[in-house]
Amino acid sequence: MGIFGDQKLELDVLKPFIKSTSETSVGLTLDLAWDRSFEKLFLSKRVMRFSFDSMRVYTAAHTMIRSDGIDETWKRCFPKLLGTGVALKSKGSFFRKHVFEISPTASRISGIVPEVAEDDSLAKSLNEDPVLMRLVSESKPDMFAVDLSLSMEGLPLGTDLRSLLIEPREITWAATIESYITQGMGFKKTLGSIVEMLDIAIAKAVANSNRIREQAAGE
C-alpha cells in the first residue's frame, strides 16, 4: 500500500465490506458494500503540530442525488442545504459539553453568497440523537464536521460558487472525523465507534435534506 501501509489496521477491520481500494496523493479511498448510510470512506492522516504523531482522518461520503436526478425543486433547495453544514464544538471550562453548531464552511459560504442562509436544523437533529452524543462523549473526536460536498472537478477554470448554486452537479454529503487513535487492543472498538458516528451523521443529513425538499415542493 505504499506510504499508506500503516493504514493496514483499518483495512483489516473493514475487509469484509471493501469492494475496492484506490490510493491517492493523500491517502486511501475505500468503496464499501454494507448496510450503512455511506458507500465511500476516505482514509488519510494529518501531522500534529510539534509532534511526530499523526491524527487519523476519516471522511465518509454519500451521493444522495446524482446529476440526472437534479430537478427544479432540488435546485431551489441547494442553497438552503449548503447552510445546514455543522461542526462539533466543545463548551464549558470544567465539564466540557459537546454540541453541533453551524460549520465554518457553511458560515463562510453564507457570508459570500447571499442566497445561502445559515440553518441549524441539522445541528438540532444531531444534538438530539442520544446514541450519537453518547459516542461523541466517549470517543471525544478532535474534529467532527458534516457538510455538503462541492466538487469543482471537471469544471472550467474560474468557475465560481454562484454558478454551482444555479446548476448543482450532484448532492453529496461528507462527514469527517479526525481523531488520535493508538494502535493497540482497543483500535477495532474505536474504529467501530467512528464508523457508527459517521453513519448516523450522513443518515441525518440525508433525512434533513429530504425534509427540506418536501417543504420546498409544497411551497
pLDDT digits (tens, 9 = 90+) for 162-186: 777 778 889 999 999 999 887 778 8
Q: What is the mean pLDDT of the chain?
A: 89
pLDDT of residue 1: 40
Over residues 197-204, the mean pLDDT reads: 98
Over residues 109-137, the mean pLDDT reads: 95
| pLDDT score of 26 more than 60 | yes
pLDDT of residue 183: 78
| pLDDT score of 54 more than 80 | no
Over residues 192-215, the mean pLDDT reads: 97
Dist CA 4 CA 61 (whole Å): 20
| pLDDT score of 12 more than 50 | yes
pLDDT of residue 3: 40
Amino acid at 131: V
pLDDT of residue 47: 76
Amino acid at 154: G
Which band of pLDDT confidence, cut at 50, 70 and 90, is reported for residue 211? Answer: very high
11 vs 161, residue with greater confidence: 11
| pLDDT score of 52 more than 60 | no
Over residues 111-117, the mean pLDDT reads: 89
| pLDDT score of 158 more than 60 | no
| pLDDT score of 96 more than 60 | yes
| pLDDT score of 2 more than 60 | no
| pLDDT score of 154 more than 70 | no
| pLDDT score of 126 more than 50 | yes
pLDDT of residue 165: 77
| pLDDT score of 43 more than 60 | yes
pLDDT of residue 50: 60
pLDDT of residue 4: 46
Contact 41, 13 (CB under 8 A): no
